[in-house]
Amino acid sequence: MSKIVVLGAGISGHVAASHLRRKLSKEHEVVVVSPNSNYQWIPSNIWVGIGRMPSKKILFPLAPLYKKKGIDFKQAKAVSFHPEGDQEENKPYVIAEYVAGNNQGTQEKVTYDYLINATGPKLNFEATEGLIPGENGTYSVCTYTHAEHAWKGLNEQIELMKQGQKVKILIGTGHAKATCQGAAFEYILNVEQELRSHKVRDMADITWISNEYKLGDFGMDGMLMSYGSITMKSSEMVEMIFEDRNIKWILGAGVNKIENGLAHYENLDGDLKTEAYDFAMLIPSFSGHGFKAYNINNEDITDKLFKGFMIVDADYTPKPYEEWTVQDWPETYQNPTYKNIFAPGIAFAPPHTISKPRKSKNGTEIFPSPPRTGMPSGITAKLVADNIIDSVKKGKESLHHKGSMGNMGAACIASAGYGLLDGSGISITTFPIIPDYVKYSETHGRHLGKTFGSIGLAGHWLKLALHYAFIYKAKMKPFWWLIPE
């Protein structure tokens, strides 16, 4: 009998646990340890943040579903890792601290045969002084509760606009090395559309602020894409969209301090500037959770497991950006020291940035960190689960399933508006996620036939369809596994 412990119940953790439970017989244990009581479909937080979808439509409680499916659930947070066990416990384990119920505050040793670290990122708001969701006029859409607060703040500004008051709206990244530009991009389009629906668009000055060097970088160094019968850069596409919607932009901006109504930032020229706002939604930086790890003698071995995020089968050798290659990226998401530990999705440490690193004249690094959200999180979680399933069934290590982000595609749909007839979708499909400048040397590292963009109602419909499809899938309803990651 094997016991597989999954830390986290976001996209990666939930996908892994679902496939493990479906494919392994009941003699094997699947345990999920997560501080969150609900599963949430994060991409739809955008609609919560504009008041078009109640949060109850994007989430559901985990405990009843896991009980029904035969998955043990502990509402607890991981505290430390003990991959060799200790003098008292000869099996590897993690220390988990319960965050709810009668056991709240107590700790437990959770032993395992296989461990999947799917804890995702820490939303590192404190890395930017004054960037606190719901305070200083700044908001977030990273969680459904954040998104609810964002709608409350935005709605207050809409009411002021209806009374004839002009407002300034600022949306983008809130740290010099923040990622998730795609979420901020979708939110700014939805906010702009929402103001139109309330007939107050002319009362708002909307500005995009980002650590990107060019529009449409998205932490992936931008892309060359097919757009209908022509070829264009993602920067040209986003510029066209912003100009059409009268959205201004500030690029190469490392936001470093927030005061009420003022965002302080440094640009690549080394200038220290401020941007005033009445409402701001700024994505924070992501970081690891600061976990500690110990060996059997209780000696600190954190550096064998973590490099901020978890160390996996990537090439972390320090080298200049120009010498990094697509082959540096992991394929199995297995820790090289402890072979029964895996980290899919955002939990793994990327070997390097995808966008070109840039520093201001003051030496401040200002560029996007690599994204690992959405499709890559689900795909890497499934392949990790499949390798564990094969290993359990064969009785020996099997790493047949592989998937580097260097040979993996991703689709991003930024929908603006809500409803069947009111809205537009900006769809961007990229292959591969990590540009391969050797294989696709003539097309900026990507396969042009598989990297394309489109704008229109069809993309908006697809975004709505995906919302319902993935909620269905997450609830593990009949034939859920037929819906791809």
Chain position carrying tokens 């008292």: 88
Single-letter amino acid code for the residue at 138:
T
Bridge partners of 369, per DSSP, are: none
Residue 445 and residue 430 in contact, taking contact as beta carbons nearer than 8 Å: no
Answer yes or no: is 359 within a domain.
Answer: yes
Could you tell me the CATH number of the domain that includes residue 11? Answer: 3.50.50.100
Number of domains in the chain: 1
Task: Measure the CA angle with vertex 356, ends 240 and 444; round to 5°.
Answer: 60
Q: How many CB atoms lie within 10 A of CB 90?
A: 11
Answer yes or no: is 264 within a domain.
Answer: no
Q: Six-digit token pair at 104?
A: 């709240």
Domain range spanning residue 362? Answer: 3-122+287-394
3-state secondary structure at position 151: helix
Going by pLDDT thresholds of 50, 70 and 90, the confidence category of residue 419 is low
Answer yes or no: is 68 within a domain.
Answer: yes
Answer yes or no: is 262 within a domain.
Answer: no
Give the separation between CA 64 and CA 57, rounded to whole angstroms.
17
Residue 438 has a pLDDT of 93
Q: Which residues have CB under 8 Å from 449's CB, separation 6+?
A: 226
Residue 373 has a pLDDT of 82
Answer yes or no: is 95 within a domain.
Answer: yes
Which whole number is the average pLDDT over 367-373? 91
DSSP 331-400: SS-B-SSSTTEE--GGGBPPSS-SSPP-B-TTS-B-SPPPP--SHHHHHHHHHHHHHHHHHHHHTS----
Angle subtended by helix axes 181-197 and 144-162, to nearest 10:
30
Q: CA dist 435 to 179, 217, 231, Å?
A: 17, 12, 17
% of residues, the chain, pLDDT over 90 = 89
Q: In the predicted model, is pLDDT for residue 32 greater than 70?
A: yes
Residue-wise pLDDT for 44-73, tens only, equals 999 999 999 999 999 999 999 999 999 999
Put simply, whether the predicted model's pTM sits higher than 0.85 gets the answer: yes
Residue 101 and residue 74 in contact, taking contact as beta carbons nearer than 8 Å: no
Answer yes or no: is 438 within a domain.
Answer: no
Bridge partners of 266, per DSSP, are: 254, 272
Going by pLDDT thresholds of 50, 70 and 90, the confidence category of residue 420 is low
Answer yes or no: is 114 within a domain.
Answer: yes
Q: Which residues have CB under 8 Å from 167's CB, separation 6+?
A: 157, 160, 161, 203, 204, 205, 278, 279
Answer yes or no: is 329 within a domain.
Answer: yes
